[in-house]
């Protein structure tokens, strides 16, 4: 009995690992395009997160106003640039800007930060 089970296990394993070679689905190595898209999406998310992080830092007084504005502007520019590349030239500047602000404010709401920004304690 154990030998039968063991053999069965081996057969299943062989079937599972052989399937990609014989199955109908075709695989390709990761393409440049795919990676570029994934990376740019990841980068964009990372920028959103960074913006919400520095919002929080500014709120809690971990960043000066000047630093904060400067970093935020830089991050926004990079995010907009990425969005532009992702969507091609199809959408207008203002639509992208709107998209960007929406993402950021959604993040901020989630963080339940007081909306005005700035250190509420000073």
Q: Footprint of another protein on this chain (CB under 8 A)?
A: 2-3, 5-7, 9-10, 12-13, 16-21, 25-31, 33-35, 37-39, 41-42, 44-46, 48-50, 53, 56-57, 60-64, 67, 86-88, 90, 103, 106-107, 110-114, 120-121
Q: What are phi and psi of 50, to 5 degrees?
A: -65, -40
Structural tokens at position 101: 């602000």
Contact by Cβ (8 Å): 117, 60:
no
Any idea what DSSP says for residue 30?
P
Q: How far is the CB of 45 from another protein (least distance, A)?
A: 6
- Please list, residue by residue across 59-93, b when 16 or more beta carbons sit within 10 angstroms of its beta carbon and e when fewer do: beeebeeeebeebbeebbeebbebbeeeeeeeeee
Distance CA 11, CA 34 (A): 34
Q: How far is the CB of 54 from another protein (least distance, A)?
A: 9
Nearer to another protein, 88 or 94 (CB): 88
Q: How far is the CB of 117 from another protein (least distance, A)?
A: 12
Q: How far is the CB of 101 from another protein (least distance, A)?
A: 14
């Amino acid at each position: 009995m154990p030998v039968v089970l063991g053999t069965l296990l081996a057969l299943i394993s062989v079937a599972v690992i052989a399937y990609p070679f014989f199955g109908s689905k075709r695989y390709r190595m990761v393409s440049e395009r795919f990676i570029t898209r994934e990376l740019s999406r990841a980068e964009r998310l990372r920028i959103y997160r960074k913006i919400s992080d520095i919002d929080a830092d500014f709120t809690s007084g971990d960043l000066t106003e000047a630093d904060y504005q400067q970093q935020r502007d830089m991050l926004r520019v990079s995010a907009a640039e990425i969005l532009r590349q992702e969507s091609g030239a199809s959408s207008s500047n203002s639509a992208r800007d709107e998209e960007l602000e929406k993402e950021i404010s959604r993040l901020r709401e989630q963080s339940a930060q007081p909306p005005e920004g700035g250190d509420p304690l000073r």
